[in-house]
Every structure is written in C-alpha cells, then in structure tokens.
Amino acid sequence: MLVLFSIIYGPLVVYLTDSFSDTISAASVLGISSVLIVIHVFKKSPAWIIPLIYFFISLGTLIFGETVWLKFGPLAISLGTALLFSMRDKMAVMIINSMKNRYFQEYMNQERIKPMAPIWISAAWINVVLHIGFLAFASKWLWAFYVSVGWYAVFACAAAWHIYLQRKNYE
C-alpha cells in the first residue's frame, strides 16, 4: 500500500495544488496519511513511520500555508534512508532490531552484504541529490515523475550493480 501511495503521491500533489487551495491540498494529504497510519498501526506494521512523515509534512503545510512543504515529504524520506544507510553497521542493526522485524534482522546479519554497503550508501545519497535537484530546478511534472517512479530507477541500477559485483566475487 505504501508503494502505491509512493507512486501516486507526486501526481496527486501536483493535481491538488493546481486544482485546489493550499488548505484543501494539505488536508487531503493529511487525511490520506492519517488513514495509512491507522491501517499500519492496526496491522502492527513498522511501516507506520513513513505515513507519519507525510502527516507532519502536510500539517506543516496547513500551519505555514505554503504548498511547497508537501514536496518535502519524499525528500525527508530519502534523507532518512540515506542517513540510515550511512550509519555504521552496528547502529543500523540496533535501529532495525528496535523495529522488531525478523526479515531486516536476518538481512543485516548476513556477512555477504557488508562489502556491498557502499553501493547502497551511494545510491541513497544520489537519490537525495536528485530529489533536491528536481525539487529546486525542475518543473512540477518532472518532479512528480521522479518522486513517483524515477527514484526506483536509481535503486534498480544499484541493485543491478550489487548483483553484478556479487556474481563477479563468487566466480
């Protein structure tokens, strides 16, 4: 569900800001993020943090009255991801252990991924730089495209590079 929200967020924000006032745009994103928070809390999923970020971003939009705040949601998530990837392995494992998700614990404890960490750290920071670039210099529709599906390309390239290096190391 978060992937779907991620894909429609950019075009939704552009449509809402073009068609409605700042208050209605922010209230719409606030309502959607509130529903997603409630769903994830009832499912006992650790992914409620992402809608919470959108909740506070849209709340900031309501308080300050500027729709540009709505565009900072994906950037905040990308920055948080980059910081998480950049932390030392021990700190990242502590954070992930606090989320109590076995899949992430097992993934972080695998020895074979540690040499590949610079790939993911680089991809995360490239993603942040691209988010800032599209936010500051691109048209609203290019920003919406990058926020929706463009950042997937950055991580798909990182995944392809990761797979290539893993196969090369095991030959």
In which domain, by residue range, is 117 found? 2-170
Residue-wise over 140-170: b if at least 16 C-beta within 10 A, else e? beebbbbbbebbeebbeebeeebeeeeeeee
DSSP at 67: G
Measured in whole angstroms, how far is the alpha carbon of residue 99 from the centre of its chain? 17
Q: Does position 84 have pLDDT exceeding 60, yes or no?
A: yes
Q: Tokens 């997937």 identify what position?
A: 152
CA atoms of 45 and 41, how far apart (whole Å): 6
Q: What is the pLDDT of residue 110?
A: 55
More confident residue, 50 or 35: 35
Q: What is the pLDDT of residue 112?
A: 45
How far, CA to CA in Å, does 123 sit from each of 41, 68, 162?
A: 30, 25, 11
CA atoms of 161 and 155, how far apart (whole Å): 10
- Report the sign of the C-alpha dihedral through residues 4, 19, 147, 54, in that order: negative
Q: Predicted confidence band at 116 (pLDDT cuts at 50, 70, 90)?
A: low
> pTM value?
0.72
CA atoms of 61 and 69, how far apart (whole Å): 5
If we measure between CA atoms, which residue out of 40, 162, 37, 48 comes closest to residue 112?
A: 162
How many domains does one find in the chain? 1
Q: Tokens 């980059």 identify what position?
A: 82
Q: What is the pLDDT of residue 20?
A: 86
Q: What is the mean pLDDT of residues 95-121?
A: 58
Instruction: List, in sequence order, the alpha helices (H) in 43-88.
Output: 49-64, 72-86
Mean pLDDT of the chain: 79
pLDDT cut 70: percent of the chain above it: 78
Of 40-44, 68-72, 108-112, which range is least confident? 108-112
